[in-house]
Amino acid sequence: MARIIVVTSGKGGVGKTTTSAAIAMGLARRGFKTAVIDFDVGLRNLDLIMGCERRVVYDFINVINGEASLNQALIRDKNCNLLYILPASQTRDKDALTLEGVGRILEELSKDFKYIVCDSPAGIEKGANLALYYADDAFVVTNPEVSSVRDSDRMLGILASKSRRAELDEEPIKEYLLLTRYDPNRVRSGEMLGLDDVQDILSLQLLGIIPESKSVLTASNAGIPVILDEKSEAGQAYEDVVARYLGEDRPHRFIDDKKGFFRKLFGGRS
């Protein structure tokens, strides 16, 4: 049986798709057969971040409607042969998703895959609700600013009440926090919320802090999940996230600014 992970946030632009791509790649590279599904029907993005946009033939909606088989629609990643992408439809909207259809596909994938990563759209409407409905674990992606924290809090309420696990009164979805676009300099100057401020409101198990980094944008534009950029802080941070999720105990990094005096003086930035 596969473990179903939803990457969610409520707010848009916080790094859900970047995170989905990175952790799916991280899990697959550790030897687990992993599928990553784009639930953002109508605003297809995951294929771009994964660099497979030119190989999309069939999509998630085609499979739900029975117009293509799952095998026809799944795209094998070019960097890792244990990673598969199920792209969203760009020409349809979220109404094309059905609870029954999503359930059927997740069940079919569960037979063959170890992890299924669901990349949720922003908002709290149908797409987001269906992305989280069948989840076992939730990665709540939050930026260190008040509106993102508020939206994540709202999402946590929905995770606790509107999932399959909640409806069947089973063990609740396990919720983890991923703090992305974190900039210790701006936290120190008070422009950004600190980890403590965020945890004061959300109080979740922290899987990792992803520092604000130019390498994220570079990787996105190149269509390579940032976790493959092992030299970048963001790539290392995602590697830590995957390790912690799988039960490894790794100390948290990137909370404080560790740059030396001289690098700071000469404005060195990674």
Partner 1 sequence: MKMSNTSSVLEFKSSTFFTPILILFSNEIAAIEQTLQDKISLAPDFFKNSPLIIDVRELNKSALEVNVAEIVDMLRMIGLFPIGLRGGNEQQNKQAQKLSIPVDAGRDIENNLAVQEQNQQKAPDKHSAESTAVEDVGTQEKTAETAVSKTLDATEKSAPQAVPVRAMIIAQPVRSGQRIYAQGDLVVMSQVSAGAEIMAEGNIHVYNTLRGRALAGVQGNTSARIFCLDLQAELVSIAGDYKTSEHMTKQLQKKPVQVYLQDHALIIKEIA
Q: Of 88 and 158, which has the nearer Cβ to partner 1?
A: 158
CB of 123 to partner 1, least distance (A): 13
Nearest of 73, 48, 42 to residue 58 by alpha carbon: 73
Q: Of 172 and 268, which has the nearer Cβ to partner 1?
A: 172
* CA gap 7, 119 in Å, rounded: 5
CB of 180 to partner 1, least distance (A): 20
Q: Of 116 and 140, which has the nearer Cβ to partner 1?
A: 140
CB of 49 to partner 1, least distance (A): 29
Q: Of 161 and 221, which has the nearer Cβ to partner 1?
A: 161
Nearest of 100, 86, 84 to residue 134 by alpha carbon: 100
CB of 127 to partner 1, least distance (A): 18
CB of 239 to partner 1, least distance (A): 30
- DSSP β-ladder status, 83-86 and 75-76: antiparallel
End-to-end CA distance of the chain: 40
Say how far residue 107 (Cα) sits from the centre of its chain.
20
**Measured on CA atoms in the order 133, 98, 16, 201, is the torsion positive or negative?**
negative
Nearest of 270, 260, 268, 206 to residue 235 by alpha carbon: 270
* CA gap 220, 246 in Å, rounded: 25
Q: Of 150 and 253, which has the nearer Cβ to partner 1?
A: 150
Map residue 190 onto helix, strand or coil: coil
DSSP string of 215-265, one letter each residue: HHHHHHHHT--GGG-TTSHHHHHHHHHHHHHTT------SSS----HHHHH
Q: Which residues bind partner 1 (CB under 8 A)?
A: 150, 153-154, 156-158, 160-161, 200-201, 203
Q: Of 53 and 137, which has the nearer Cβ to partner 1?
A: 137
Q: Of 41 and 156, which has the nearer Cβ to partner 1?
A: 156
CB of 22 to partner 1, least distance (A): 26
CB of 154 to partner 1, least distance (A): 4
**Most distant CA atoms of the chain, gap in Å:** 61
